[in-house]
């Protein structure tokens, strides 16, 4: 489900959006070169960087934070969405990534968690465009938060 940026619940995602806004300044979006991992150490475990590939369109995992990697079932760094059945064109992840390309604005969403750790129910994320030329999106900067079950919630 897509949501407004004002609906961001996670302090980590709020911090990531504030960082992105700071780095873009008066431009529509910052460049990848503006993003400095040393400036975002507290949120780095939650970060994914996706390279945008064109002709044909695809997305490649460039960097995956340690927290995100712990929730994945396999190593994804260097791999493309098209390599994974649930990430190909038409998937929620592909659709949101494509939306970032077209709108050149951050996109927030939350989806049910289906990973290996049973004490999580939801993933909240924010996908933010980066552009080396100021016009076309060439990298997508993502921050991800895993939402735990509340006490008393039934096991899935």
Banded pLDDT at 1 (limits 50, 70, 90): very low
Other beta carbons within 10 angstroms of residue 4's beta carbon come to: 7
Other beta carbons within 10 angstroms of residue 105's beta carbon come to: 13
Cα dist from 31 to 36, 58, 92, 115, 150, whole Å:
11, 19, 25, 31, 38
Q: Which residues pair with 123 in a beta bridge?
A: 111, 146
Q: What are 96-113's pLDDT values in tens digits?
A: 999 999 999 999 988 766
Mean pLDDT to the nearest integer, 125-148 = 92
Mean pLDDT to the nearest integer, 57-66 = 94
Token pair in block for residue 83: 């390599």
Q: What's the pTM value of the predicted model, to 2 decimals?
A: 0.87
CATH topology of domain 2-148: Beta-Lactamase (3.30.450)
Q: Which residues pair with 139 in a beta bridge?
A: 51, 130
Q: Residue 154: CB partners within 8 Å, gap ≥ 6?
A: none
The pLDDT of residue 62 is 95
3-state helix, strand, coil in the chain (%, to 5): 30, 30, 40
């Amino acid at each position: 489900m897509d949501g407004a940026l004002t609906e961001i619940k996670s302090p980590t995602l709020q911090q990531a959006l504030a960082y992105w806004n700071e780095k873009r300044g008066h431009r529509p979006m910052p460049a990848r070169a503006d993003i400095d991992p040393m400036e975002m150490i507290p949120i780095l475990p939650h970060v994914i960087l996706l390279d945008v590939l064109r002709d044909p369109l695809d997305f490649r995992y460039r960097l995956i934070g340690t927290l995100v990697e712990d929730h994945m079932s396999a190593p994804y760094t260097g791999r493309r969405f098209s390599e994974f059945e649930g990430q190909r064109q038409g998937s929620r992840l592909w659709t949101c990534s494509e939306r970032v390309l077209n709108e050149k604005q951050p996109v927030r969403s939350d989806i049910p968690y289906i990973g290996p750790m049973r004490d999580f129910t939801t993933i909240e994320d924010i996908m933010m465009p980066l552009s080396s030329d100021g016009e076309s999106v060439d990298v997508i900067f993502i921050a991800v938060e895993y939402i735990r079950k509340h006490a008393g919630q039934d096991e899935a």
